[in-house]
Amino acid sequence: MNEKKARIAVLVSGEGTNLQAILDEAAKGAIPHGEVTLVISDRAGAYALERARKAGIPAMEINKKACGGQTAFEEKLTAALEENRTDVIVLAGFLSILTENFTKRYARRILNVHPSLIPSFCGAGFYGLKVHEAALARGVKVTGATVHFVNEIPDGGEIIAQKAVEILEGDTPEILQRRVMEQAEWIILPRSVEKVCAEIKAKEE
């Protein structure tokens, strides 16, 4: 592992498409100041773990139910992150809510990607297809994605980057979800990861 790079842990719950976008951009040299060194899933059998293993990255599962509650879950999560000497945490489709206790420990070091232009269609209960369903139901003409720092308020942290995506006639939530991923999430998430990693490394010099 390269100690000149910030150590990134990616937290996932499902397919891991945003994880893949980070890995692909890193492979192209687009994240020179960071390196993914750990992937953690809160769900058993998440395909994201397979993506990590294929890329030769240590991967593990930490299940809240198996831990017996939020406090034990966050303690186990913190222990794994500390052992990994994690500098930056990326929530890439991670569905577990993290408490202020956890987010304060890693202030301005946790990033999340949300599939709308915050403050629209965000906060508790807005995740996955629900976000796109809400955007279509409201009749908005433009949506997009936002990368933000994570604090104790769901989708409430400081915005790092946003990218707009046009809504087209005939869009279904599934079609729109895919377009937002391809045209926004997979572009601004790796760029934001690099930006935060570069800032962290600059402070160390």
pLDDT at 60: 96
pLDDT at 95: 87
- Quick check: is 121 in a domain? no
Tell me the residue range of the domain where 32 lies: 6-112+147-161+185-200
pLDDT in tens, 13-28: 999 999 999 999 999 9
Contact between 37 and 9 under an 8 Å Cβ cutoff? The reply is yes
- Quick check: is 205 in a domain? no
Q: Which amino acid is at 71?
A: T
- Quick check: is 41 in a domain? yes
Low-confidence ranges of the chain (pLDDT < 70): 1-2
Residue 114 annotated among the catalytic residues of the structure: yes
pLDDT at 2: 58
- Quick check: is 152 in a domain? yes
- Quick check: is 140 in a domain? no
Query: Strand runs (DSSP E) across the chain, as ranges?
Result: 6-12, 34-41, 59-61, 88-91, 110-114, 142-149, 159-166
- Quick check: is 189 in a domain? yes
Provide the domain count of the chain: 1
CATH number (domain holding residue 192): 3.40.50.170
- Quick check: is 107 in a domain? yes
Provide the 10 A C-beta neighbour count for residue 41. 25
- Quick check: is 64 in a domain? yes
- Three-class SS state of 130: helix
Q: Which of 33, 114, 132, 148 is labelled catalytic?
A: 114
pLDDT in tens, 32-55: 999 999 999 999 889 999 999 999
